[in-house]
Structure 1
Amino acid sequence: MPPHDHDRAVDSDLPPALAAWEVVEPAPGPAARAVFCRRCGETSEPVANCCPWCGAWLVGDPPVVAPVYVPEDEPEDEWHTRAADAAAERYAPRRGAAPLVPPLVVVFVSYGLLLGSLILFLVFAVLFGLTNEEDQHAGLAVVEAIDAVLAVAGLGLVWNTAKQKLPGGTMWLTWLTAFPVLFVLLCLNLAYITFLRELLRPLGAPEPQKMKLTLVTVLLVCAQPAIVEELFFRQMTLGVFRKSMNLHLAVWATAGLFAFAHLANPIGMPYLFLAGGAFGYARAFGGLTLAMVLHFVHNFAVVAYDALK
């Protein structure tokens, strides 16, 4: 493609041996419209042909900055660098100021504090023998209050990064299919728990304590996790991960952290990993409200089944 005047970044102080630097543009792409980004999973209108979320090139082939004429005997000098930078800057995506604390650091520090609060509660329960249901609920309420503070504080620090846009036309279809998928998950959960109990029964494993379907149980086991855990994992963690990796990898990486956070239920982690992935896709394509509703219905169904069986 022949050079154009407006595509040249020419410095008036350039020596005669260096003519200019040329931006070799790709063929013109389609008019501005929403484009799906395979890197971060966002659907949005390109800004300077790039994804406004992660900076990946979206429309056509990226431009190439190449020298028009540089003699072999002309050494590299500051004019080369200045001209190339001026040409490349034209296509650089506009980004906001860097956050004070990197979002990934906020996510992992918050996650470490969350695990620390759970470990302290488990150690406290073992040392002081918290077998009474009321004492367990009191300790769980304290831990969940700490988790709520961590989720809100962490999300506040990374909100601009953790924001997630829904792809066009996916919300209602996701809502319609989410509850049949949830029913399948609950059936898998029942089959998995039944299998484990039968497997461990000959080894003398004690029967788990049955949960009671009370207002306190619903608040502590169903409502609080549905709100706080979804804010922490599916809004903050997934939102930050999506800006640095593929959507599917971000969903399952978040699901892994979600499963490992249930330290008090280690044998349930494989199933929780699967459920966390389902909640992640519900958030990505149906919205945060859908993920919260699914989480609440899931936990309520488990508690109700355990209490009424």
Structure 2
Amino acid sequence: MPPDDYNSPPDTDAPRPRIGDWGAAEPELDYDPDAVPVVYPVAALWCWRCGETAAPVAGRCPWCNTWTDGEPPRREPEPVRRSDDEPEDDWHTDTARYAIPVRRPYPIPPVVIVVLAYFGLLGTLVVCSVIAALRGATTTDEIQEAQAFVEVASTLLTLVSLALVWSRARQKVPDGTMALTWVTSVPVLFALLCLNLLFFTFLRELLRPLGVIEPERMKMTLATVLLICVQPAIVEELFFRQMTLGVLRKSMNMHLAVWLTAAAFAAAHLGNILGMPYLFLVGAFLGYARVYGGLTLAMVLHFVHNFAVVAYDAWR
């Protein structure tokens, strides 16, 4: 009589059923829907486009939203709890849903605000120059009065436009670069001042045979220091190195943003067309000083540069 397969003891040599086989028992999972998800620390990475060093969010730079290099550590998204008035979900009724935090969009793109502010600045300079020419402003007091009006208008324009894009214009100085940048900026500034002396001396000697009248020397007065040294060191740095450079760094490579800002800075000096090549280099120097040394360093260097130029022109 053949053995009864249904009542015989199991064969120990027979292969055991695997998970997924028909009739195999599924293992019970120890799952707690109320458990808090574990968030592992995320290493800070250097962004190739904006030059910032920060922990990536969902594989993207939190400053410019570009993909970071390599395979960055993943960050667990923030939990978003379902409200009571939402329809029930048969599959996820007991678990928290997750969403990646998204930056709130601007009503007007920050780049557009920067471009409009820049052309507004140029328009203020042109209009004021035309009014001063029509009024026949030739004395030092009349020229300083027109210059004061331009600087008040540029200050208001800078503060308003910077307030509109402040969260986009913020810049973080890389760790460990500030002290070195402060130290190395002193000899670089001295070299630029020497280049300034040679450049404008060469221009005067080149234009003298052509009958070009040499501009009147500046006088070291309180009004001159405020209008040429203090106000540009603060307002121009806020406009170009904080707002313009900060916004451009979120849209392109950091070095390209520095040199584009330097070009805009040089072109804004409409009253010194011959000095634009030199001002282009100064703008790049101040841009890198802002990136690696902070806004205060850029303001101090700008003030020292202008003060040295005014002092040399007054006492030479």
TM-score (norm 1): 0.79
1:20-52 per-residue CA deviation (whole Å, 9 max, x = no partner) reads xxxxxxxxxx96222111111111111122210
How far off is 1:179 after superposition? 1.1
Determine the structure 2 residue equivalent to 1:53.
Answer: 63
How far off is 1:159 after superposition? 0.4
Determine the structure 2 residue equivalent to 1:132.
Answer: 139
How far off is 1:60 after superposition? 2.5
Q: Is the 8 A contact 1:48 1:91 kept in 2?
A: no
Amino acid at match of 2:189: L
Q: How many residues align?
A: 254
- SS of alignment partner, residue 115 of structure 1: helix
- SS of alignment partner, residue 240 of structure 1: helix
Distance 1:93 1:265, change over 3 A: farther
2:215 to 208, 211, 229: 208
Determine the structure 1 residue equivalent to 2:244.
Answer: 237
Matched residues in 2 for 1:135 and 1:55: separation? 49
Determine the structure 2 residue equivalent to 1:252.
Answer: 259
Determine the structure 2 residue equivalent to 1:41.
Answer: 51
- SS of alignment partner, residue 274 of structure 2: helix
Amino acid at match of 2:103: G
Determine the structure 2 residue equivalent to 1:98.
Answer: 105
Amino acid at match of 2:301: L
Distance 1:132 1:163, change over 3 A: same
| 1:157 and 2:157 aligned | no
Matched residues in 2 for 1:56 and 1:94: separation? 15
- SS of alignment partner, residue 266 of structure 1: coil
- SS of alignment partner, residue 126 of structure 1: helix
Distance 1:92 1:235, change over 3 A: farther
1:141 to 143, 148, 153: 148
Amino acid at match of 1:196: L
Matched residues in 2 for 1:123 and 1:60: separation? 55
Q: Is the 8 A contact 1:213 1:307 kept in 2?
A: yes
Distance 1:93 1:177, change over 3 A: farther
Matched residues in 2 for 1:138 and 1:112: separation? 22
- SS of alignment partner, residue 68 of structure 2: coil
| 1:224 and 2:231 aligned | yes
Q: Which range is displaced more, 42-51 or 222-231?
A: 42-51
Q: Between the two proteins, what is the percent identity of the paired residues? A: 61
- Superposition CA RMSD, Å: 1.8
Matched residues in 2 for 1:156 and 1:137: separation? 28
Determine the structure 2 residue equivalent to 1:87.
Answer: none
Q: Is the 8 A contact 1:50 1:93 kept in 2?
A: no
1:114-171 per-residue CA deviation (whole Å, 9 max, x = no partner) reads 0001001111122221111111111111100000001100000000100000111000
Determine the structure 2 residue equivalent to 1:4.
Answer: none
Return 5+ residue gaps in structure 2 as ranges.
1-39, 74-96
Q: Is the 8 A contact 2:47 2:69 kept in 1?
A: no
Q: Is the 8 A contact 1:55 1:93 kept in 2?
A: no
1:231-250 per-residue CA deviation (whole Å, 9 max, x = no partner) reads 00000000000000000000
Matched residues in 1 for 2:248 and 2:297: separation? 20
